[in-house]
Structure 1
Amino acid sequence: MAQPHHGIFPTFFLSGFECSTFRWKDGRRRDLVTETQHREHALQDYQMLQGLGIAVAREGIPWPMADLGRGRYDFTMLESVIGAMRTTRITPGWDLCHYGDPEDADPFSDAFAERFAAYCEAAARHVASQLDGPYFFTPINEITFFAFCGGEWGWVAPYGNTRAGREQLRVALCKAAIAGVKALRGVLPDARMMHVDPLIQVVPPPDRPDQKAAADRETFVDAFLAWDILYGKEHPELGGAPEVLDIVGCNNYSFGQMEYREHGPHKALPPGSPGILPLCDLLERVWDRYRRPMVIAETSGMGKGRPDWLRDVMNESMAAVNRGMDLHGICLFPAVDMPDWHTGEWLHNGICDLVDGDGRLRRVPDDDYVAELRRWQKELNRVTRVDEDPCSDPVDLEDVVQAARRLNPQPDKDWS
């Protein structure tokens, strides 16, 4: 009989709530938690996850709002979500910087990493005073994407518009993230860190083979540089190490496979494009590079395509497990819908859609998406409802391994 292979998280399926707090290109501070009314609906949102057997949720602590400056902090905005976590027994994975820093913080100054570390320490102390463990943190979300949209595309502060600006911002964010990890573990030595970045594949346009080298650099160098720094492969003077990288969180969306553009964001490849690779192959690139525990930290389809997307992601994930990858979970993100940053239109990518009823956003589950989740919970022998003590019965990943062997799906690039 095989020995149990305990998973890192209380459940194999995770979820989370969009919590960006960036300053948008118009100079306005955005707070996506307010825009989705998550704080007002926190108990309902967490009870929904509880009823779906999801015991881990990515949740934000908004640095720009919590950090009052001069070493003063206010975490009262977390009261409703922490109360909901206590009631439902759902474990948070705290995002401490989700595309937003205080307006008086300069990411290019030496003081930035120190200030972020002090905030991380304060956040850890607050969380530890409110909730029992286990404790999970993502110090800075999607460093690579943050560096693009804040350092080269000018979408969010600090509004850079050059490749050099992107590279400088990425290193600054990595330096802060490493300092944050050390500060968090100074308070909670056993805390686990999940560092999240997108899985990408970039190919040259069919009529521009001369751009292959630039596309390959995006795919094989830039996509990994933040993780490389956190691991200690690059810029070792910043203090990266395998235990700093800890858990590798891979975000997977259809628009992560792209056609190269010299200026501005690349163009998403349409379904059926010859440049598309199976998700399994993208995960294997990460696994071969770091050999650290992995999780798909965000994934979702759109609209009526949500159940098909989940089916494809799960088949690819099972193929990855059959290749020996140490996959600890799939995060269905977001739990409730979120607006497109640019247009404000609802994306219809959540487990629940949001429907306006006289200013109050009603949560409406996508029944087909939920049904597909239920099917996979049965396939993997997973719980379908969070019990009173979800941490008492750790996930036995051998169940996942056995399901992967039984199903034996083959990697398929024709998914979108």
Structure 2
Amino acid sequence: MAETQHREHVDEDYAFLRSLGIAVARQGIPWPFVDKGGAYDFSGLDPFIVAMNRHQILPIWDLCHYGYPDGLDPFSADFHDQFAAYARAAAEYVTPRIRGPHFFTPINEITFFAFMGGEWGWTAPFGRTDEQRRKLRLALCRADIAAVKAIREVDPEARMVHIDPLILVVAPKDRPDLADEADHETFEDTFFAWDVIAGRRHPELGGSPEVLDIVGVNCYSFGQMEYRENGPHASLEPNDERIRPLGDLLTYAWERYRRPMIVGETSGLREGRPDWLCDIVEESLAAVLKGIDLHGVCLFPAVDMPDWHTGEWLHNGLCDLVEENGSLTRVPFQPYIDELRRWQKRLNRVTELDEDPFSDPVDLDDIKAAAERMQMTSDKNWC
């Protein structure tokens, strides 16, 4: 929020979404900044709530997008209770202030969080072993399930969007002996957190299909990788014959859980943004045509973001950011906007929100009809 000046530009940012016909946005609540040792100060959310209400944007509240308050230990016996207490307090604060229905992502990308914090040492708790990764992953799953139940004590109708990357890992061409390890990561590790939340593994933690609820899959070009024994894997180059269609990956998740799905994050880079959007929509329509219950695609981010490692602007948003006299001016990337407009028209979607956008909700039958009309097929040329 600080690096992109989202707090200072929040009204402008949501007005921009409204002008694009976008009525739903993922919005983070920074747990470390609102939790004062069990006492909570959510007043920092007020400008965001005011802007969302003014522009009629429905939030999906992201309660833990990596990171936790100082003094907490994710491996402690009471970590899940403390997270559940925070989640309950967050739900009590936002649900009366925002028009429903209410959506939450308790812990974002548990699988990736566990790699970053448990094995790669990128973020707290800065673990460096596979054992620490697995231990952190299970602790986060337990906390997530506890949070879902706490939120639903506040709003029994609250919906959950559980988000993790949907990936493919393949063996190096010169190391076919690593095929089993690569497959394990693709078909087991990728789904472990969702499995626990759905009650398929560790049922003693209280997971169930209703707790899992909506499956949010994050899909990026770098999500198809060549296995590395140590550290992050290497992204496959475009046109690598080992790339698989996005539709195949969506099918893996759909057949495993049979729960409503969204693409929870996706974006291209720089000049590739419009082509990436086209590919994602075509793959999504092909998935709908196959009977996958796919409800939407979330473009991430709305405005630009800095590279985690270099700090340079990635140019992956609907807007680029240009510094002018200490302020970050939002500059829409017009080719990306034009491609969005093209698909809105093809899918019979609104291009700008009216006075009451929720009075006429999206009819998925329109999308299914469009998929039937266009007869999209899944292909490998999507990254």
Query: Per the shorter chain, which TM-score range?
Result: over 0.9
Instruction: State the alpha-carbon separation in 2 of the partners of residues 271 and 415 from structure 1.
Output: 9
The answer for the alignment partner of 2:223 in structure 1 is 256
Instruction: State the alpha-carbon separation in 1 of the partners of residues 22 and 262 from structure 2.
Output: 15
Q: TM-score, normalised by structure 1?
A: 0.91
Work out whether 1:224 is the aligned partner of 2:224: no
The alpha-carbon deviation at position 179 of structure 1 amounts to: 0.3
The answer for the alignment partner of 2:100 in structure 1 is 133
Q: How does 1:180-259 map to 2 (within 5 A)?
A: 180-259=147-226
The answer for the alignment partner of 1:15 in structure 2 is none
The answer for the alignment partner of 1:51 in structure 2 is 19
Q: What amino acid is aligned across from residue 116 of structure 1 in structure 2? A: F
Instruction: State the alpha-carbon separation in 2 of the partners of residues 225 and 152 from structure 1.
Output: 16
Q: What amino acid is aligned across from residue 179 of structure 2 in structure 1? A: K
The alpha-carbon deviation at position 372 of structure 1 amounts to: 0.5
Work out whether 1:405 is the aligned partner of 2:369: no
The answer for the alignment partner of 2:327 in structure 1 is 360
Residue from 278, 297, 308 that aligns with 2:275? 308
Q: What amino acid is aligned across from residue 44 of structure 1 in structure 2? A: E
Q: How does 1:9-408 map to 2 (within 5 A)?
A: 33-69=1-37, 71-408=38-375
Instruction: State the alpha-carbon separation in 2 of the partners of residues 305 and 172 from structure 1.
Output: 38
The alpha-carbon deviation at position 325 of structure 1 amounts to: 0.3
The alpha-carbon deviation at position 81 of structure 1 amounts to: 0.9
Q: What amino acid is aligned across from residue 289 of structure 1 in structure 2? A: R
Q: Which runs of 4+ in 1 moved over 2 A?
A: none
The alpha-carbon deviation at position 129 of structure 1 amounts to: 2.9
Q: What amino acid is aligned across from residue 360 of structure 1 in structure 2? A: S
SS at match of 2:321: strand
Instruction: State the alpha-carbon separation in 2 of the partners of residues 153 and 100 from structure 1.
Output: 15
The answer for the alignment partner of 1:12 in structure 2 is none
Instruction: State the alpha-carbon separation in 1 of the partners of residues 196 and 360 from structure 2.
Output: 35
Report if the CA contact (8 A) 1:249-1:295 is conserved: yes
The alpha-carbon deviation at position 388 of structure 1 amounts to: 2.3
Gaps of 5+ in 2: none
Deviations 1:205-227 (A, max 9, x none): 00000100100010000000000
Deviations 1:313-362 (A, max 9, x none): 01100110010000110101100000011000011000000111122100
Gaps of 5+ in 1: 1-32
The alpha-carbon deviation at position 132 of structure 1 amounts to: 2.0
Instruction: State the alpha-carbon separation in 2 of the partners of residues 100 and 357 from structure 1.
Output: 31
Report if the CA contact (8 A) 1:40-1:80 is conserved: no
Q: What amino acid is aligned across from residue 76 of structure 1 in structure 2? A: S
The alpha-carbon deviation at position 385 of structure 1 amounts to: 1.1
Instruction: State the alpha-carbon separation in 1 of the partners of residues 46 and 2 from structure 2.
Output: 14
Instruction: State the alpha-carbon separation in 1 of the partners of residues 204 and 329 from structure 2.
Output: 49
Report if the CA contact (8 A) 1:203-1:215 is conserved: yes
Q: What amino acid is aligned across from residue 61 of structure 2 in structure 1? A: W
Identity over the aligned pairs, expressed in percent? 64
Q: What amino acid is aligned across from residue 191 of structure 2 in structure 1? A: F
The alpha-carbon deviation at position 130 of structure 1 amounts to: 1.6
The alpha-carbon deviation at position 412 of structure 1 amounts to: 1.1
SS at match of 1:94: strand
Q: Which structure has the higher relative contact order (CA within 8 Å, separation 6+)?
A: 1
The alpha-carbon deviation at position 58 of structure 1 amounts to: 0.1
Deviations 1:164-183 (A, max 9, x none): 11100000000000000000
Instruction: State the alpha-carbon separation in 2 of the partners of residues 78 and 100 from structure 1.
Output: 18
Q: What amino acid is aligned across from residue 9 of structure 2 in structure 1? A: H
Deviations 1:110-137 (A, max 9, x none): 1100000000010001002322211000
